């Protein structure tokens, strides 16, 4: 059975969605850089090993990355799942997990990398917004796209209503991407995503207007 580790910094709703999907792999640990992350308690309540690794206790990014990699490797995961993990990871850390580390980002990448994506989408006046699961590369919020979900932007949307519509779709696409990987059907080949046994359209989900 394949093993995965989830990295969080906050509430962990994507983590919960992955657990709720009843995947066949084993979550070996949930690690947070914030000891007060609400998601840690939810994972512990499920009997999953939790680890708090406070980035503020380390002299610099490299020292934190090294400790994080050592902790991850202790659990020998096949896949590392960044689920609302709000620390930028250094290049050597990212290379170590190349082809076996996912991130979820609340926009249709390559639009709106970085923070405040919902505000940016409203300011740009886009009619479609959404979320992306991608393999992690050293460039922030970049990397080969595994699956995207698009949602409509409605005329009276606020950043909060739009974020909620996007989050509901994050909870659909992240478990799906993790399942594909754990089933051994998804891989990175020469920087491109290869998915067995699905049509091309499986990576694109269009949510109807609510």
The one among 31, 51, 79, 83 contacting ligand GRF by CB under 6 A = 83
**SS3 labels along 135-197:** ECCCCCCCCCEEEEEEEECCCCCCHHHHHHHHHHHHHHHHHHHHHHHHCCCEEEECCEEEECC
CA distance 52 to 87: 14
CA distance 5 to 96: 15
**Interface with ligand GRF, residue 169, by CB under 6 A:** no
**Interface with ligand GRF, residue 105, by CB under 6 A:** yes
**Interface with ligand GRF, residue 177, by CB under 6 A:** no
Beta carbon nearer to ligand GRF, 105 or 134: 105
Q: Which residues, numbered 22-51, are part of the site for ligand GRF (CB under 6 A)? A: none
**Interface with ligand GRF, residue 11, by CB under 6 A:** yes
CA distance 180 to 176: 6
Candidate ranges 11-19, 22-30, 62-70, 154-162; the one touching ligand GRF (CB under 6 A): 11-19
**Interface with ligand GRF, residue 14, by CB under 6 A:** yes
- Pairing outcome for strands 145-152 and 186-189: unpaired
The contact set with ligand GRF (CB under 6 A) reads: 8, 10-14, 83-84, 104-106, 131, 167, 170
């Amino acid at each position: 059975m394949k093993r995965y580790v989830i990295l969080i910094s906050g509430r962990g709703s994507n983590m919960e969605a992955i657990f709720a999907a009843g995947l066949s792999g084993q979550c070996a640990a949930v690690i947070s850089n914030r000891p007060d992350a609400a998601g840690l308690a939810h994972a512990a309540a499920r009997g999953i090993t939790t680890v708090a690794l406070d980035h503020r206790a380390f002299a610099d990014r490299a020292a934190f990355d090294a400790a994080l990699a050592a902790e991850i490797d202790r659990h020998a995961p096949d896949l590392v799942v960044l689920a609302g993990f709000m620390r930028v990871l250094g290049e050597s850390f990212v290379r170590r997990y190349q082809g076996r580390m996912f991130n979820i980002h609340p926009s249709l990448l390559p639009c709106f990398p970085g923070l405040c994506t919902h505000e940016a989408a409203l300011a740009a006046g886009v009619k479609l917004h959404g979320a992306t699961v991608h393999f992690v590369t050293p460039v922030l919020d970049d990397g080969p796209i595994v699956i995207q979900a698009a949602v409509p932007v409605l005329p009276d949307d606020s950043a909060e209503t739009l974020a909620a519509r996007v989050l509901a779709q994050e909870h659909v696409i992240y478990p799906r991407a993790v399942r594909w990987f754990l089933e051994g059907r998804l891989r990175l080949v020469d920087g491109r995503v290869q998915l067995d046994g699905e049509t091309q359209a499986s990576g694109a989900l269009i949510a109807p207007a609510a």
